[in-house]
Chains A and B, each alone.
Chain A
């Protein structure tokens, strides 16, 4: 019996030691060292590409926000409202904590059609110069992450007329702002052209003296 236990213990000695060594290398040393290197060489990115105004964090360059004011450009719909919330929403339990994702509505789900129809009607009300067919697909559909900071250049374009009225800025200025925040396809081949809505709104806010 005793010898049996002994051989058994000997049998798990190697796998146990190997597990511990790999645990330390892969689970601890690797992330710790890489954090050190990243913080040293890419401190801005490694800490979340945060944008500060007057020393206060107003958001991240890479994360969209739920903009509601008429004088700000709108992001795509988000199931989680981009993790933006007010104090009332915490008190009422409407905001339950940081998350990501979409409502996962199937293409055949009637709720999807209903949501899109409502959003279209609301958009047309606020942008009376735009006809229904001119609304680009991405502006009325939710992103996968619920945090997409981008819209397509077409989606930025259709919002400009209403923004001119709401912001009091000229069409040229707004077009220039959009231009500044547009990134084309990588090498002209990869990905899609995008407009960073957060970047656009920061510039609008600056010009309007809001920040």
Chain B
């Protein structure tokens, strides 16, 4: 428990400077590294023919995103289909089958990283680099770009200019993702993550048997996998594999890598929306400390942290309690539930990793989620269903702002005030879009789960009978719709039915949400700013934060409680009966 607290304390220390840097990059302010990066960026703009001064409205911005992502998908799909060619293919991997390729490419472009294949036996080194690693960069950068544009929309300094998508995409990669990846990659290699182009090795063990050892360019993939909150592993067992996550230090590095940018995004948001105030010199020190998050940023950050901590505590104690059935069989449960967990991480780091990966929608796992205790799995599922507890690559922040708008609206109605957020009136049009945006996520999860449980093709994939079987299906679609990518991996999901349904869930979970949210930002942006009066509902107070958290939980309960009762909750009751 103590090590979890220390880990989170360190996180709080690093997230703030990162947020400030992110803010500077997003608002084109000067940073210490400009002399280097300006040259690189300008060269890229020149080749690409991009005029960064040319702003875009929300429609143009979204269109550029969609077209760019579509082109990337086509390139990736082609490579997967011809990967058997002898280019960086030392292990003689075959071409990938069509429906699996489609699933894989949508999965990685939407930053989901759901994997219906095992990397060591299904991907050539070329695919691992040119498809997987490449997409990890661009899908994360696309997400952050949209998020930055969304926040620009909310601040509404300009009536239509949301920024330039291409410029945002390039800047985020060159100034944030790439430098961080290089540093983390080197650290991971130092800790023991392989980085080589050689093929797999067969060792002759000291017992005279053979052992196959899978190698490849793992570290470069591993670094961006966490920094971009992507989550798709080089190997089938993801970050549980010693070669992806060899030591406790690599584990901490991976944890911080996936937590830092989504948290920093909130800091950036707070700084971008906070109004410049006239500060008296004598208050300067005090003020600047208060202004780290900005009032609005603090509301969002506190709400996210509260939900995160509640989930973490439940998950930790559920795993610590162990498995009573194994206890009855005579196996001591003093270490907690160790099935599916690695000794070097134990229950503490595993519970922390599980809660983090589902909250920050990374989808990387350092223990097998299918073998989690029912309540541990419940937390993982719930956080993907909420999809706003920090969330990955900016999208979580956007989802959270949607809930903030909803809370503003509900609270406004309760106390009889006009709903306003950040100086803009929230009216019928925005609320309709907010409602639409909130309904998509449960619709995808519950709709597809219903289809799966009522068809033979869906049910035949289930590997654990009873209530856990429903959890397996539910988890798969929650993970897809939330663009998370982790799984209850017992599910036999590499077939036509699962490849297509999850691809659809991932696709709409990503792009439909982005389009609607950008439309909301676009609509708010074009509005006249209203002056703050005594009648304005304050959104930077503790009361508002509490209302926000309560409303999030109420909405989650209304939509998901019945199905969660039939899955993890029922399994828990059976297990401890």
Contacts and interface: CB of A to CB of B under 8 A. Distances in A.
Given A59-B205, A147-B237, A100 B120 contact: yes
B325 A112 contact: yes
Contact of B571 (A22, A65, A85, A108): A108
A61 B574 CA distance: 41
Contacts of A98: 120-121, 200, 212-214
Nearest to B246: A62
Interface in A45-76: 45-50, 53, 56-69, 72, 76
B195 A35 contact: yes
A142 interface: yes
Contacts of B197: 35
A120 B342 contact: no
Contacts of A116: 326, 329, 331
B423 interface: no
A31 B129 contact: yes
Contact of B206 (A38, A42, A104, A210): A210
A157 interface: no
Contacts of A65: 205, 207, 211
B95 interface: no
A202 interface: yes
A62 to B, nearest CB: 4
Interface hub of B237, B349, B373 (most chain A Cβ within 10 A):
B237
A192 B72 CA distance: 42
Contacts of B490: 103-106
A112 B213 CA distance: 27
Contacts of A46: 189, 194-196, 219
Interface string A118-145: 0010000000000011111110111111
B453 to A, nearest CB: 17
Interface string B35-79: 000000000100111100000000000001001100110010000
A104 B368 contact: yes
B243 to A, nearest CB: 6
Given A107-B371, A138-B335, A145 B194 contact: no
Interface majority SS (helix, strand, loop, mixed), chain A: mixed
Nearest to A30: B220
B133 A30 contact: yes
Contacts of A140: 326, 331
A108 B137 contact: no
Interface string B295-335: 00000000000000000000000000011011001111111
Interface residues of A, number: 104
B181 A47 contact: no
Interface string A135-163: 11110111111111111100000000000
Contact of A192 (B68, B118, B345, B368): B345
Given A149-B242, A189-B3, A57 B204 contact: yes
A113 interface: yes
A194 B335 CA distance: 13
A18 B50 contact: yes
B486 to A, nearest CB: 12
A102 interface: yes
Interface stretch (B24-32, B166-174, B540-548): B166-174
Interface stretch (B270-278, B281-289, B462-470, B505-513): B462-470
A87 B342 CA distance: 29
A62 B247 CA distance: 9
A9 interface: no
Interface in A171-189: 185-186, 189
Contacts of B192: 45, 49, 61-62
A1 interface: no
Contact of B215 (A47, A107, A135): A47
Interface in B323-378: 323, 325-326, 329-346, 348-349, 365-368, 370-374
9 contacts: A14-B48, A98-B214, A107-B325, A113-B329, A137-B334, A142-B339, A145-B237, A201-B206, A211-B206
Given A26-B134, A27-B129, A194-B344, 9 more contacts: A21-B48, A60-B243, A63-B242, A101-B489, A102-B371, A143-B240, A143-B341, A145-B241, A148-B343
Interface of B: 2-3, 6-7, 44, 47-50, 64, 67-68, 71-72, 75, 118, 120-121, 129-131, 133-134, 137-138, 166, 169-170, 173, 178, 181-182, 185-186, 189-198, 200-201, 203-207, 209-215, 217, 219-221, 224, 235-237, 240-243, 246-249, 251-252, 322-323, 325-326, 329-346, 348-349, 365-368, 370-374, 463-468, 471, 488-490, 571, 574-575
Q: Which 3 pairs of residues, A with B, have the shortest CB-CB distance? A: A191-B248, A104-B490, A27-B134
Interface of A: 11-19, 21-23, 25-28, 30-31, 34-35, 37-39, 41-42, 45-50, 53, 56-69, 72, 76, 82-87, 97-109, 112-113, 116-117, 120, 132-138, 140-152, 185-186, 189-192, 194, 201-202, 205, 210-211
